[in-house]
Structure 1
Amino acid sequence: MPVYCITGTNRGLGLEFVRQLAQSADNTILACTRSVSSDLTDLKAVASSSTHILACDVGDLGSIREFVKEAAKILAGKKIDFLLNSAGINPAGWQSSLSLGPDDVLTQIRVNVLGPAKTVEFLLQADRLAKDVRIMNMSSGLGSMQRSLELKPRKFAGYSISKAALNMLSIHQAGDLKENLPGAVVILMDPGWVKTRMGGEGAILTPEESISGMLKVVHGLKEEDNAKFYHYSGKQVPW
């Protein structure tokens, strides 16, 4: 029975990950949400009997530490086979490099970069990651330097910067984890332009299409895929 840990599951792509994975009774799912006191109606509606809803605010180091402790209790001797870091924010999408809000950029770095960094770090310290764990960090086409240069109209600068930083973090994780977990594979994923609250009305993909594609990629990963940047379709994304 594989164990999945997914961040940012109260809505959007994280919620769809839970919905699709919960369709198999063989999957144990740790569904992480910023707060268990918020409205979790949608998440509870798709959860299975083997889905555990846990608080994990990836923008708060204390919250991540508490999550790891709770996860260890629930898993007992089991370890996480698939860690899907899908939580992320884009609070100031209208900003260009000429109008960046310092607080907005720092907040995105804290959530979009340090969140996945510390989630992996703390789970590793607690010995909760399987020796051949598959880690997917949710990036974006906007994290690609080539694609960002082509972007018109010019916007999403802070988000692009944070996702480019996440890309570099993932490269380091892909190398550093080999010292402790030789079979580990870390990848980045571009989910495409998806019809979520973040994606907006003009998006072209449904969450079902995007997540189905991403899971196909994740489930097919081999050791030689370590440190690669994938599109949900399975194609590689240019750096």
Structure 2
Amino acid sequence: MPVYCITGTNRGLGLEFVRQLAQSGDNTILATTRSLESDLGDLHAVASASTHILECDTGDLKSIHAFAKEARKVLGPDTRIDFLLNSAGVNLASWQSSLTLGPDDLAAQISVNVLGPAKTVEFLLEAGLLSESVRILNMSSGLGSLQRSLAAPRKCAGYSISKAALNMLTVHQSGDLRAKLPHVVVIALDPGWVKTRMGGDGAVLEPHESISGILKVLGGLKDEDNGKFLHHSGEEIPW
């Protein structure tokens, strides 16, 4: 019975991950949300009997640490996470360019989009919750590709910068974790332009299309894929 841990599941892509994975009773799911006091009706509606809804604000280090401790209690002493999907993210002040960046907006995006996945991995590793062959997905974006961003139009400067930083985090994690977990595979992944609240107007993909593709990619990952930047179709993306 594989164990999936997914951050940011109250809406958007995180919610769709839970919806698809919960269709199999073989999957144990740790579904996190920033606050258990939020409206979680949609999440409860798709959750299975083996879905555990836990609080984890990925912009708050104390919350991430508390989540790791709670996850240990939920899974027990011998169960490990097989798939860690760092799906939580924010896109703030998308109208800002590199010439008008708001310091607080950029800092908030770095906190959630970069430090959040970094500390989630760190604290789960410290708690002994990651399997030796865990697959870790850091949800990136095509906007985080430096090569693609050379082509105009450029947009969402702060978000793009945070996703480029997440890509570098992925590269570092892919090496650092291999020294501790011999068969770990860490990837950054672009889900495509998806019709979610974050995706906004003009998005072309339905959530179920993106997530079904991502789950297929996850299921087919090999040791040599460690440290890659992939599209939801499985195609490799230039950094």
Normalised by the shorter chain, which TM-score bucket?
Answer: over 0.9
Deviations, residues 54-74 of structure 1 (Å, cap 9, x unaligned): 000000000001100110001
Partner in structure 2 of residue 111 of structure 1: 112
User: 2:28 corresponds to which letter in structure 1?
Assistant: T
Partner in structure 2 of residue 235 of structure 1: 235
Partner in structure 2 of residue 131 of structure 1: 132
Distance 2:99 2:115 in 1: 24
Partner in structure 1 of residue 189 of structure 2: 189
Gaps in structure 2 of 5+ consecutive residues: none
Deviations, residues 71-91 of structure 1 (Å, cap 9, x unaligned): 000100200000000000001
Q: How many residues matched?
A: 238
Distance 1:133 1:21 in 2: 17
Deviations, residues 110-136 of structure 1 (Å, cap 9, x unaligned): 000000000000000000000100000
Distance 1:134 1:26 in 2: 18
Gaps in structure 1 of 5+ consecutive residues: none
User: 1:179 corresponds to which letter in structure 2?
Assistant: A
- The answer to whether structure 1 residue 11 and structure 2 residue 5 are counterparts is no
User: 2:150 corresponds to which letter in structure 1?
Assistant: L
User: 1:2 corresponds to which letter in structure 2?
Assistant: P
Partner in structure 2 of residue 39 of structure 1: 39
Partner in structure 2 of residue 220 of structure 1: 220
User: 2:23 corresponds to which letter in structure 1?
Assistant: Q
Q: TM (normalized to structure 1)? A: 0.99
RMSD: 0.6
Identity %: 74
User: SS of the residue aligned with 1:201?
Assistant: coil
* Deviation at residue 148 of structure 1 after TM alignment: 1.3
User: 1:138 corresponds to which letter in structure 2?
Assistant: M
Q: TM (normalized to structure 2)? A: 0.99
Distance 2:177 2:147 in 1: 28
User: SS of the residue aligned with 2:54?
Assistant: strand
